[in-house]
Amino acid sequence: MKAAVLREVKKPLSIEDVRISKPGPHEVLIRTAAAGVCHSDLHFVDGLYPFPLPAVLGHESAGVVEQVGSEVRTVKPGDHVITCLSAFCGHCEHCLTGYMSRCVSPETKRQQGDTPRLAREDGAMNQYLNLSSFAEQMLIHEHACVAIRKDMPLDRAALIGCSVMTGVGAVMHTSHVRPGETVAVIGCGGVGLAAVNGAAIAGASRIIAIDLQGSKLNLAKEFGATDVVNPKDGDPVKQVQDLTRGGVHHAFEAIGLKQTAEQSFKMLARGGTANIIGMIPVGVHIELHGAEFLGEKKIQGSLMGSNRFPVDMPRLVDFYMAGKLKLDQMISQRIKLDQVNEGLDELRRGELARSVIVFH
């Protein structure tokens, strides 16, 4: 099969022929239909997060099941599925207490000495974030995908696999936004727009979108933002405080920078919660004013929207089909696999919300 391979950081991905294994007892072979080009992929390309190479990248995807292993009970050949990088075992402490996205059990991967899921003539190929979806096929654990209704367009379903689940989940699961509360979202890429949309679905009374790109702020209004703030017009913290007369109940940092993470905390009202959903590079530390904690302000991380994806993703599909979840507007361009580097370059420029690779 054809796949986009990262062999060296800060270098373009190469389109190569990669061998894929047959499904083991709890594995599923999927024909990839679509894969979003996500900022997380760019972080690994740029070396901000170390990862063993070579690897097939891609982690935001949807497709059709081709084969299943002998013990698979969750999906069957012909099912349309969305994948999720937070594969879960189902019986560790995190899974059993309802925090499946935190599962780090090695059971969802092939073990040392097993035939690798992906390989080339010169040796094994590393699987990226349990998926490797910049490829014509994926071989994954059954607990890394969920079946969805077949009338859902798969190019839009792919977005639910990462950015939408991350943004909407952070709002609903991690921070528990309630009707009437106020929200600020820093960064209006795919994840940030999903957070804006999630806040609108949750009933937030004021949703303030913050970005340096005017085009993205206009897009945020379509997703439910009631107000927009451009840091070019002045200190975004002061702008948010002025709009809300003191700060927001919930702030979501969806970029992954030290400065914006600190700003998300500073723009909170007393008792507010800042959620870091962007990927802050390894080794970067954030600094907060200790006295502000006396106002019962909180800061926390959110991993993949604190999801229970086998339940959450089909519900998000229903939200889209009912016109409540905005996915059509999130796709800026549809590209082919051999244009993946162009999609990554668009992310670097920060001009588009999402490029989606469509496989035929």
**Helix, strand, or coil here: 79?**
coil
Catalytic pick from 38, 89, 95, 103? Answer: 38
Q: Is 175 a catalytic residue?
A: no
Mean pLDDT, the chain, whole residue set: 96
The two most distant CA atoms of the chain are separated, in Å, by 63
Q: Residue 98's closest CA among 171, 174, 41?
A: 174
Catalytic pick from 26, 39, 43, 143? Answer: 43
* Residue entry with tokens 């490029």: 355
Question: What spatial distance separates the first Cα and last Cα of the chain, rounded to whole Å?
Answer: 13
Q: Is 145 a catalytic residue?
A: no
**CATH code reported for the domain at 2-161+306-358:** 3.90.180.10
Angle between the 190-202 and 214-222 helix axes, to the nearest 10 degrees?
30
Q: Is 59 a catalytic residue?
A: yes
Catalytic pick from 84, 95, 162, 188? Answer: 162
Please state, in angstroms and rounded to a whole number, the distance separating the CA atoms of residues 207 and 248.
9
| Half-sphere exposure at residue 174, Cβ-oriented, CA atoms within 13 angstroms | 31
β-strand pairing of 19-20 with 2-6? unpaired
Q: Is 162 a catalytic residue?
A: yes
pLDDT digit of tens for each residue in the chain (360 aa)? 999 999 999 999 999 999 999 999 999 999 999 999 999 999 999 999 999 999 999 999 999 999 999 999 999 999 999 999 999 999 999 999 999 999 999 999 998 889 999 999 888 899 999 999 999 999 999 999 999 999 999 999 999 999 999 999 999 999 999 999 999 999 999 999 999 999 999 999 999 999 999 999 999 999 999 999 999 999 999 999 999 999 999 999 999 999 999 999 999 999 999 999 999 999 999 999 999 999 999 999 999 999 999 999 999 999 999 999 999 999 999 999 999 999 999 888 877 778 999 998
Residue 17, burial from CB neighbour count under 10 angstroms (0-12, 13-18, 19+): exposed
Say if residue 77 is preceded by a cis peptide, omega within 30 of 0: no
Please state, in angstroms and rounded to a whole number, the distance separating the CA atoms of residues 93 and 27.
22
Catalytic pick from 26, 39, 59, 173? Answer: 59
Please report, for the chain, the start and end positions of each structural domain, with discontinuous segments joined by +: 2-161+306-358, 176-301
The highest-level CATH class for domain 176-301 is: alpha beta
Catalytic pick from 39, 40, 173, 264? Answer: 40
Q: Is 95 a catalytic residue?
A: no
pLDDT of residue 25: 97
**Helix, strand, or coil here: 340?**
helix
